[in-house]
Amino acid sequence: MDVILYTDGSARGNPNGPGGYGAVLQFIDANGQLHEREYSQGYIKTTNNRMELMAAIVGLEALIKPCNVKLYSDSQYLCNAFNQHWIEGWIKKGWKRGKNEPVKNRDLWERLLAAKAPHNVEFLWVKGHAGNPGNERCDMLATAAADGDGKITDEGLDQA
C-alpha cells in the first residue's frame, strides 16, 4: 500500500516550552477512495526537534501492515538524518556524534527506527509555511496541540 504522511512539530519557547505534533496520513484504497487520518498531541514541556520526531513516529506507528511511505516534513533534522545517513553514523559510533558527544533525542530516534522498520520510507523535505496543504494542516494541528488543553509530560525530555 502507498501512503503519504505529512508531519510537523511545534514548541513554544523552544527549548523546554510547551509543544505539540501533528501528523496526517493519507492513502487511496482499491476503489479509488481517499482515506485520511489526523494525529496530534500536546506536551507540557518539550523541544521542537522532539515534536518533529514524535509526529513521524506516531504516523508510522499507526500503520498496521508494511507500506511504501512518502513522509513529508519541514524538518531538515529529521529528513537529513536519513537522507544524508547521519543516523547510520550515529549507530556505528555508539550513538555519538561530532566531538564524541551523545546524540540528542536518542530515545525517539530508536523508537522511530522501530516504527520505520517494516516500511519502505522516503523522507521528503518541504519548506515550512510555504503553502503546502499537508504541511500547513500539520502545522495547525501541532500548534493547536501546543496551545491547547490536555498536554502530557514528555517523559524522555530530561534524557534528551
Which residues are marked as active site?
Answer: 8-9, 52, 74, 129, 139
Q: Is 52 annotated as a binding residue?
A: yes
Q: Is 139 annotated as a binding residue?
A: yes
What CA–CA distances, in Å, run from 144 to 60, 64, 71, 137, 147? Answer: 21, 27, 21, 11, 5
105: left (phi over 0), alpha (psi -120 to 50) or beta: left
147 marked as binding residue: no
To the question of whether residue 8 is assigned a binding role by annotation, the answer is yes
Q: Of 132, 154, 133, 158, nearest to 145 (Cα)?
A: 154
DSSP readout, 108-138? HHHHHHHHHTTSEEEEEE--TTSS-HHHHHH
| Secondary structure percentages of the chain, helix, strand, coil, to 5 | 35, 30, 30
User: Which is nearest to 142 in space by CA: 26, 6, 2?
Assistant: 6
Element (H, E) at 34: strand 34-46
Known binding-site positions: 8, 52, 74, 139
Known binding-site positions for Mg(2+): 8, 52, 74, 139
